[in-house]
Structure 1
Amino acid sequence: MKELKRVGPLQAAKQFIFAHYPNCQGALLAGSVIRGEATHTSDLDLVIFDESLTSSFRESLIEFGWAIEVFAHNLTSYQAFFKSDFERARPSLPRMISEGIILVDNGIVQSIKKEAKQLLEKGPEKWTKETIELKRYFISDALDDLIGSSNKSEALFIANTLAYITHEFVLRTNGHWIGDSKWIVRSLNHYNESFSKEFVEAFDTFYKTRNKDKVIQLVDKVLEPYGGRLFEGFSLWKKRLNE
């Protein structure tokens, strides 16, 4: 028996909305399929606005030949997610809404897309000097752990941590949104493609050969404008007796 060919992403998204949310006030199709980055494992990311919902929720289903991720909101719940995404500097929902293709709009989606776009253009909250010092210390500590590690298994996970906190430091100190998983590289590319290539090459070299030199050079280069590695003199939560 022949397997039925699945319909296109836009058609599947519209069929899903019609079947499950026929009375919604707004709906968008977002994610890799609308950015031209879809792979054979890509799903459909659907953002729904329905005033009848008492709260937001996320749901995963398989219908019309597609894995479908639903991000459902009423007409105000999305604002709490905007706030949370702003505070963590990872604008998942604003990005989906800003780039999404409108499937349904009963007069509310354009204004929400405008909110999302304004938040993305604003960028994350600026780090304080104290936060920069704290992050600088943690990066220095992880780098020292990597340099001193002779355990290959442990070094892999030290490098993972170092890659994440270094990408975070670079992007936040330059006023850019950070990423997670595949969005780490995407966020670095958005900031500076040349640096992103250098970043990937340094860690790729370590993972393939266990040679740490390029990672060490990269991290030192990142920290240098802020005073380099930090250990001596750093303190956290220290209180004096006369305070």
Structure 2
Amino acid sequence: MKDMRTDRLAPLKAAKLFVDAFFPQCSGALLAGSTVRGEGTAKSDLDIVIFDQNRCSSYRESLIAYEWPVEVFVHSLESYRAFFESDVERARPSLPRMVSEGEIIKGWDVVMPIKAEADHVLNRGPGKWSDETIRMKRYFLTDTLEDFIGSENRAETLCITYTLANQISEFVLRTNRKWVGSSKWVIRSLKEYDPEFATRYSDAFDYFYTYGSKERIVQLTEEVLAPFGGRLFDGFVLGEK
């Protein structure tokens, strides 16, 4: 079966050939990413996760195979757990998400229990922010907002806006014990949490980039901060006095 966009092989077929050719002795393998979710584009790659009982550590490699760019993530039957834990700590479940959504290519009996672990991690969500962390994040979000409001240099404002967008999404998601994301996963994570808020978030920034008006972003930021006491500057202390 061919990929309809080009004359290259379909994702799953190419992934199976890749595993057979490059990791014939592996214990299990799965295909993850946009091609599995049905969101593939002409620039999509194949995200392949390998589990190998003969390995002691993990590594990641990028290469071209069967006319596809391939990102391969190789793990032992134990090393993936450290990555699960790291992803939970940073609240970005990259590997658990790949394993959970991935389509098994090889080693059903090996991969299924690992998928169950990944599902458990995703369903549990990230840890709760402490009151101290929320207060610190309020302060830095307030600081960026004030910079945004006061900036009169377009180039500088664009850089501040990027920081503000990330801080808003992180604050909303983490205070609600939801996973965060980077790049395209910023908006995807917001949509998973609250589609209506995600629309207002993207509209506010789009309006600024189009018309230069800051009002919608300011209102959105204040809305996000309001349940936690609003903007924070006066009296904030970081570290010991």
Give the TM-score taking structure 1 as reference length. Answer: 0.96
Worse overlay, 158-167 or 99-108: 99-108
Alignment-derived partner of residue 72 in structure 1: 74
4+ long deviations beyond 6 Å: none
| Alpha-carbon distance, 1:54 to partner | 2.6
The alignment partner of 1:175 has SS state of: coil
Distance of 2:94 and 2:166 partners within structure 1:
17
Alignment-derived partner of residue 137 in structure 2: 135
The alignment partner of 1:223 has SS state of: helix
Alignment-derived partner of residue 236 in structure 2: 234
**Structure 1 vs Structure 2: percent identity of aligned residues?**
55
Distance of 2:58 and 2:222 partners within structure 1:
43
RMSD over aligned Cα, in angstroms? 0.9
Distance of 1:74 and 1:106 partners within structure 2:
16
| Alpha-carbon distance, 1:106 to partner | 5.6
Query: Unaligned stretches of 5+ in structure 1?
Result: none
The alignment partner of 2:54 has SS state of: coil
Amino acid in the other structure paired with 2:128: K
The alignment partner of 1:71 has SS state of: strand
1:178 to 164, 177, 180: 180
Q: How many residue pairs end up in the alignment?
A: 236
Alignment-derived partner of residue 216 in structure 1: 218
Alignment-derived partner of residue 3 in structure 2: none
Distance of 2:147 and 2:108 partners within structure 1:
55
Alignment-derived partner of residue 122 in structure 2: 120
Distance of 1:31 and 1:107 partners within structure 2:
21
The alignment partner of 1:235 has SS state of: coil
| Alpha-carbon distance, 1:175 to partner | 1.0
The 1:43/1:216 distance shift into structure 2, 3 A limit, reads same
Distance of 1:82 and 1:55 partners within structure 2:
14
Amino acid in the other structure paired with 2:190: L
1:164 to 144, 166, 170: 166
Query: Unaligned stretches of 5+ in structure 2?
Result: 1-5
Give the TM-score taking structure 2 as reference length. Answer: 0.96
